[in-house]
Structure 1
Amino acid sequence: MSISRRRLLGTGTGLALTGALAAGCGSDTGRGSGDSGGRPVIEQWYHQYGEAGVEQAVRRYAAGYDRAEVRVQWRPGDYDQQTATALLTDSGPDVFEGGPTLEQIQGGQVVDLTDLLRGVREDFDPAVLAPKTYEGRIWGVPQVVDTQLLYYRRSLLADAGVEPPTTLDALVDAARELTRGDVKGLFLGNDGGAGVLQGTPLHAAGLAPVTEDGRPGFDDPAAARTLGKLRRLYADKSLLLGAPSDWSDPSAFLQGLTAMQWSGLWALPRVRKELGDDFGVLPFPADGAHGRPAVPVGAYGAAVSARGRNRAVAKELVRWLWVERTDHQVDFALSYGFHIPARASLAAKAEPLRRGPAAAAVRFTREHGFAAQPLLWTVVARTAYQDALSRIVKGGADPGRELRAVLRTTEDELRRVRKRR
Structure 2
Amino acid sequence: MTISRRALLAAGAGVGLLTACGSNTGRGDGSGAGPKLSQWYHQYGEAGTEQAVKRYAAAYKKAEVTVQWRPGNYDQQTAAALLTESGPDVFEGGPTLDQIQGGQVVDLTDLLEGVKDDFNPAVLTPKTYDGKIWGIPQVIDMQLLYYRKSLLKDAGVEPPTTLDALVDAARKLTTKKVKGLFLGNDGGAGVLGGTPLYAAGLQLVTEDGKVGFDDPAAALALAKIYQLYADKSLLLGAPTDWSDPSAFLQGLTAMQWSGLWALPQVQKELGDDFGVLPFPKDGSGSPAVPVGAFGAAVSARSKHKEAASDFVKWLWVERADYQEDFALSYGFHIPARISLAKKADKLKTGAAAEAVRFTTDHGYAQPLLWTPASQTAYQDALSRIIKSGANPESELRTVVRKVSAELDRVKKKS
Which TM-score band (shorter chain)?
over 0.9
- Cα distance change on mapping 1:292 and 1:21 into 2, 3 Å: farther
Instruction: Give me the CA root mean square deviation.
Output: 1.0
Say whether the 8 Å CA contact 2:26–2:66 is kept in structure 1.
no
Indicate the residue corresponding to 2:97 in structure 1: 102
Say whether the 8 Å CA contact 2:240–2:247 is kept in structure 1.
yes
Which residue identity lines up with residue 274 of structure 1 in the other structure? E
Q: Does 1:381 align with 2:374?
A: yes
1:29 CA drift (Å): 3.5
Indicate the residue corresponding to 1:3 in structure 2: 3
1:175-201 Cα shifts (integer Å, max 9, x gaps): 000001210000000000010000101
Indicate the residue corresponding to 2:65 in structure 1: 70
TM-score, structure 2 as length reference: 0.99
- Cα distance change on mapping 1:253 and 1:36 into 2, 3 Å: farther
Say whether the 8 Å CA contact 2:11–2:375 is kept in structure 1.
no
Instruction: Measure the CA separation in 1 of the matches of 2:286 and 2:379.
Output: 21
Which residue identity lines up with residue 145 of structure 1 in the other structure? I
Indicate the residue corresponding to 2:123 in structure 1: 128
Indicate the residue corresponding to 1:402 in structure 2: 395
Instruction: Measure the CA separation in 1 of the matches of 2:19 and 2:185.
Output: 32
Which residue identity lines up with residue 406 of structure 1 in the other structure? V
Instruction: Measure the CA separation in 2 of the matches of 1:411 and 1:74.
Output: 38
Instruction: Measure the CA separation in 2 of the matches of 1:182 and 1:110.
Output: 52
1:11 CA drift (Å): 4.0
Say whether the 8 Å CA contact 2:122–2:291 is kept in structure 1.
yes
1:10 CA drift (Å): 1.2
Give matches, 1:22-421, under 5 Å. Answer: 28-30=23-25, 32-288=27-283, 290-371=284-365, 373-421=366-414
Say whether the 8 Å CA contact 1:132–1:301 is kept in structure 2.
yes
- Cα distance change on mapping 1:11 and 1:76 into 2, 3 Å: farther
1:299 CA drift (Å): 1.4
1:290-323 Cα shifts (integer Å, max 9, x gaps): 2110000101000000000000000000000000
Instruction: Measure the CA separation in 1 of the matches of 2:170 and 2:79.
Output: 42
Say whether the 8 Å CA contact 2:33–2:62 is kept in structure 1.
no
Say whether the 8 Å CA contact 1:42–1:94 is kept in structure 2.
yes
- Gapped regions of structure 2 (runs ≥ 5): none
- Gapped regions of structure 1 (runs ≥ 5): none
Instruction: Measure the CA separation in 2 of the matches of 1:218 and 1:12.
Output: 18
Instruction: Measure the CA separation in 2 of the matches of 1:106 and 1:231.
Output: 38
1:116-141 Cα shifts (integer Å, max 9, x gaps): 00000000000011110001110000
Aligned residues with identical type, % of pairs? 72
Instruction: Measure the CA separation in 2 of the matches of 1:32 and 1:119.
Output: 31
TM-score, structure 1 as length reference: 0.97
Which residue identity lines up with residue 53 of structure 1 in the other structure? G
